[in-house]
């Protein structure tokens, strides 16, 4: 019996050790461009988790640009009224998460469609500030048009210091003004990782730990994902809690392609980073 108990303890300790995610971000700054005003509401949860992950990793000061609602031309699958609602929900996901988790007081979260010129100029300036030792990692969590406009407006000699992280061809090929080949033609580095929907678009019960957690910062994250789940524009989100785009942030904070980041993030990885921060910030 004692031997069995020791084995169980050893397995538990091993599991705990494996669950601890190591933060090892590469040099440089990060910019995130999300949609959320398109038919798929997954960017609501992806945005909240991305902002929380960066704060929990101690890297919030490296986020130099965050814009949402980058789907510039509305499609018939979402009505004008529903799209306006999404703009409001995406801004709420940004602003409330940033305030509750802290550390983003100097950053303005931009609505790409409604603040188009400011958004393009803000990303342009981040590109122009890039150097070999301080590159810009752009997380493509939506259509690539804003990225294309900013690259077009920026200094060509800076493009070699821009790295574009992508995980899904649906985003790459969804541009209304730029094709993916045109984005790559600017001379930036493409950093492609596996589809993060595989392990980060999961059934709701995989997130009950957040729903039932006592810290309101964690409960807020669950609530944002639940809002996306009860969205009435699309059906494929029903029963699912989706923060798939945040998998690219998880990849970056754990090393990206420089130190070997987590290419296929899981809910357990997200949980590890967030709870390690929250439990040490009481």
Q: Report pLDDT for 24.
A: 97
Q: What is the pTM of this model?
A: 0.92
What average pLDDT does the structure give for the chain? 93
- Angle at the Cα of 73 from the Cα atoms of 114 and 239, rounded to 5 degrees: 90
Of 183, 109, 100, nearest in space to 143 by CA: 183
Cβ count within 10 A of residue 172: 20
Condensed to tens digits (0 to 9), the pLDDT of residues 5-64 reads 444 444 443 344 346 899 999 999 999 999 999 999 999 999 999 999 999 999 999 999
Region of residue 213 (phi > 0: left; psi between -120 and 50: alpha; otherwise: beta): beta
Quick one: tokens of 222? 């669950």
Cα(51)–Cα(48) distance, integer angstroms: 5
* DSSP labels, 164-208: EEE--HHHHT--SS--HHHHHTT-PEEEE---THHHHEEEGGGGH
Find all residues with CB under 8 Å of 230, minimum gap 6, and list them.
none
- 64-78 burial: b if 16+ Cβ within 10 Å, else e: bbbbbbbbbeeeeeb
**What's the farthest any 2 CA atoms get from each other in the chain?**
70
Condensed to tens digits (0 to 9), the pLDDT of residues 67-118 reads 999 999 999 999 999 999 999 999 999 999 999 999 999 999 999 999 999 9
């Amino acid at each position: 019996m004692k031997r069995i108990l020791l084995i169980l303890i050893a397995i538990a300790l091993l599991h705990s050790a494996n669950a601890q995610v190591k933060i090892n971000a590469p040099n440089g700054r990060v910019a995130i461009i999300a949609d959320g005003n398109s038919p798929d509401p997954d960017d609501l949860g992806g945005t909240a988790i991305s902002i929380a992950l960066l704060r929990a990793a101690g890297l919030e000061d490296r986020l130099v640009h965050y814009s949402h609602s980058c789907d510039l031309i509305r499609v018939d699958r979402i009505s004008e009224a529903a799209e306006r609602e999404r703009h409001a929900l995406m801004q709420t996901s940004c602003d409330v998460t940033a305030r509750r988790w802290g550390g983003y007081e100097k950053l303005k979260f931009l609505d790409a469609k409604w603040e188009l010129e400011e958004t393009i100029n803000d990303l342009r300036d981040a590109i122009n500030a890039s150097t070999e030792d301080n590159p810009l990692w752009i997380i493509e969590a939506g259509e690539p048009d804003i990225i294309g406009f900013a690259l077009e407006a920026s200094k060509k000699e800076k493009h070699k210091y821009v790295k574009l992280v992508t995980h899904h061809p649906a985003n790459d090929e969804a541009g209304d003004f730029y094709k993916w080949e045109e984005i790559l033609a600017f001379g930036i580095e493409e950093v492609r990782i596996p589809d993060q929907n595989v392990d980060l678009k999961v059934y709701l019960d995989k997130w009950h730990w957040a729903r039932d957690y006592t810290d309101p910062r964690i409960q807020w994250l669950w609530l944002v994902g639940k809002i996306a789940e009860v969205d009435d524009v699309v059906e494929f989100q029903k029963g699912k809690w989706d923060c798939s785009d945040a998998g690219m942030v998880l990849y970056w904070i754990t090393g990206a392609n420089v130190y070997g980041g987590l290419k296929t993030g899981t809910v357990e990885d997200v949980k590890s980073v967030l709870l390690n921060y929250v439990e040490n910030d009481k």
